[in-house]
Amino acid sequence: MKKILCIVLFVYSFSAKAQISNLAELASGKIQIFSPISEIDNSIYGYLMIVKLEEVDKTNEKFEYILLDKNLNKVANGEFIETKYKGFFSRFLYPEKIGNTILLSRYHSRAMSASAFFITNRSLDIKNNKISDSFYYENNQFVKGDRPQKKINRTLKGLKTIEIPVAADKGFILIENFKQKKNNNLPQFLKFYGVDKKEKWQTPINKLGDRVEYFLNVINKNNIIYTINNITNKNTYTINSIDPATGKVIFNYQIENSSSKMNHSYIVKDLEDRIVIVGKVSPYKKTGYDVKKALGLFRIILDKQGNELSKKYFYWNEASKFLPIKKNGKTKDGYRLYAKSYFVFKNGTISVLTEKRKDTYNILLGGNVKTADFHILNFDEKFSLLNIETIKKDISKWSYSDYLYSQKIKDGNGVVFFYNDYKKDVATKKKNWILGIVTILDGKMNHEQIPMSSKEHFISPYIAKEGYILLREYNKDSDYDEIRLERLNY
């Protein structure tokens, strides 16, 4: 049976020369986080590791940070003291890089209530290897220091809450909310702050106080995209584009309203000369997209001013000449195609990675899920289906997906994605974990499967600089981890 949360892998050498670091030599202590650090364009800058050194006293903990570049060279390290808040569980979040500053946020929440939370922050100056004192946001300003324990409960019950900072261009974004008795945490303002923590601009995103839902996406240094669903005003879904330098609204594009025939679930890609919206559709209902009634896929192309250049829908039955599939997205064996990722290339072509999934019910175990093969749907620049390529996998039980992650290669002309599979060996009949590596470049797919399981070792894969993968090796009889960069073959 597949494990849901743990990827069990074994050491494999892609090349004779691997860049290797021993985590025991970098720091001693219990690892709290080991995370890649992305630039604004999503390329990899390096990695941040935070380890807990000791409990200083009942209310303070000592940590060490270690910063590695993309080649695993140590570029900075230091220690800092964090407040331990009584009654709260804490964890460090994914680090955000803004120029030469890394914004490090820590999430504190009640053990039994995910909605009762607050954020504390620090900034790390990479050039000077200096970490700032703790700071937090309250009453429209940043406050230096730790939150007083006695004021936390009152803060959580206050009128305003703040979301987690998100890096964008030369600063970061915060969504400021206001609370109402019936509809909690309604977004009010989109606020942009520089590294100096001074507000540069703000944009209202809920002028009338309607009940709305939102999704924020920082595309690149030139564009902030956020989607608003105004539930009060007839479920109107609007895609909004903002210039992060000025806060100026570039465009608003309504993708859906209560008169629409279909619901849309999608991503937005900002290319050099156009914006591409691609996703999946189902028959319209007020509650939104319904995967069990999925009809197919769609693609919309906008120019940089938000003018619609192209809009096209693709229905599942159009794929029947390549794959036995019904109009509701179900295959002949009862599985349904779930879109896992959309690869939008510079030349206008699109590849959609789908995975076969079946929801079942067992009278003893209750709800269950099975996942099987990947199907990659390749579309030309007019969003017409060219072909479907299949990646065979063993059936996974209790796993919603075997897909891991992807990254662009060759300046956006290609992509490489990774997956894991617990696969039976033909010769030995025993199951072993494998790492699947799939490259799509210039319309051609290359697929490798690498055996990576052992009783003594397991490895977790991490995103790395272009052309590489980072493998973090856990050794059964050792107190340390080893990380290594291995070159990919494409």
**pLDDT for 232-285, tens place per residue?**
777 888 999 999 889 999 999 999 999 999 999 999 998 888 999 999 999 999
**In which band, very low, low, confident or very high, does the pLDDT at 318 lie, cut at 50, 70 and 90?**
very high
Q: What is the pLDDT of residues 47-78, one digit of tens each?
A: 999 999 999 998 999 999 999 999 999 999 99
Q: Are 176 and 189 in contact (CB under 8 A)?
A: yes
pLDDT score of 10: 29
Mean residue pLDDT across the chain: 85
**Residue matched to tokens 């709305």:** 212
- Tokens representing residue 453 in the block: 């399981």
Q: Is the pLDDT of residue 468 over 50?
A: yes
Asked if the model's pLDDT at residue 287 lies above 90, the reply is no
Model pLDDT, residue 169? 82
pLDDT at 8: 30
pLDDT tens-digit readout, 10-36: 233 333 334 545 555 566 678 899 999
Q: What contacts 475, CB < 8 A, 6 or more positions away?
A: 456, 457, 481, 482
Predicted confidence at residue 133, as pLDDT, reads 95
Q: Are 421 and 451 in contact (CB under 8 A)?
A: no
Q: Extract the runs of DSSP E, i.e. beta strands, from 366-467.
A: 366-379, 385-391, 396-397, 403-409, 414-424, 431-441, 444-451, 457-463
Amino acid identity of 352?
V
Q: Would the CA dihedral through 155, 156, 157, 161 be positive or negative?
A: positive
Q: At CA 44, angle to CA 43 and CA 48, rounded to 5?
A: 150
Checking if the pLDDT of 160 tops 70, the result is: no
State the Cα–Cα distance between residues 114 and 82, nearest whole angstrom.
21
> Is the model's pLDDT at 376 over the cut of 90?
yes
Distances (CA, A) of 314 to 280, 317, 320, 453: 9, 9, 12, 40
Which strand (E) or helix (H) includes residue 188? strand 186-194
Per-residue confidence (pLDDT) for residue 156, from 0 to 100:
64
Does residue 3 register a pLDDT over 90? Answer: no
Q: What percent of the chain has pLDDT over 70?
A: 85
Q: Is 179 in contact with 192 (CB distance < 8 Å)?
A: no
Residue bearing the bigger pLDDT, 107 or 366: 107
Contact 290, 338 (CB under 8 A): no
pLDDT one-digit tens code per residue, 377-428: 999 999 999 999 999 999 888 788 999 999 999 988 999 999 999 888 777 7
pLDDT of 302 > 80? The answer is: yes
Between 457 and 33, whose confidence is greater?
33
How far apart CA 66 and CA 48 sit, in angstroms, is 6
How far is it, in rounded angstroms, from Cα 258 to Cα 423?
Answer: 46
pTM for this prediction = 0.87
> Tokens 């650090």 belong to which residue?
37
pLDDT exceeds 80 at position 454: no
Model confidence at 368, pLDDT cuts 50, 70, 90, reads: confident
Q: Is a pLDDT exceeding 60 seen at residue 487?
A: yes
